[in-house]
Amino acid sequence: MSLIPDENLKSKSSFNFAPMIDFLFLMLAFFATLAVSRASLYDTKLNLVQLKTEDGASPVKQGDESHQINICINQKGEYEWMTEIQTYPMESLQRIQKELNHQHKIGLLPKNRAQTQVLLHIDKGASWDPVAKLIFAIREEGFEAYPVYEPDETVTVDGK
């Protein structure tokens, strides 16, 4: 006679197979996905249609898109380079010219400088002297400057 019953001393003869079955299912799903994607990517032969231009039509070149640069002139006559993320203060006209040349040199701007539009956001209270100097500085570098006009208020049909 012992203090521990014989039932508790014997090892259990059952084993839990649920985690192993889950693992095998995940492995099967992984390799099935791999096989299907490999077959669709590498083993498929596609015959792509060759487009032909019509007689007299000029083909569209990939480099025909324009690029826009936004420069803001505030009431004090200070310049800011505006991007989608934030604005960068520019100390002088030479800094703007240097930045334009740098971006053109490293390939951020199109090779044809006429495809780059420099948009000027001019504050209403800004004096014309810094605006004129900026336009001439941009033209010296071979780019064109375009003012951006924003209406004061929305005009309705009724006039109200």
Could you write out the DSSP letters of every residue in 106-141?
HTSS-SSGGGEEEEEEE-TT--HHHHHHHHHHHHHT
| Least confident window among 3-7, 99-103, 104-108, 124-128 | 3-7
List C-alpha distances in Å: 132 to 99, 144, 156: 19, 13, 34
pLDDT tens digits, one per residue of 110-119: 888 888 889 9
Inform me whether the pLDDT recorded for 33 exceeds 80.
Answer: yes
Q: What is the CATH number of domain 65-147?
A: 3.30.420.270
Residue 71 near residue 80 (C-beta atoms within 8 A): yes
> Which of the two residues, 54 and 28, has the higher pLDDT score?
28
Q: How far apart are CA 87 and CA 77, in angstroms?
A: 15
What is the predicted pLDDT for the residue at 98?
93
Two structure tokens written together for 78? 């200070």
> Which of the two residues, 32 and 38, has the higher pLDDT score?
32
Q: How far apart are CA 160 and CA 139, in angstroms?
A: 42
Q: What is the reported pTM?
A: 0.53
What is the predicted pLDDT for the residue at 45?
61
**Residue 6: pLDDT band with limits 50, 70, 90:** confident
Q: Which residue from 103, 92, 102 is spatially nearest to 133, judged by alpha carbons?
A: 92
What is the predicted pLDDT for the residue at 158?
58
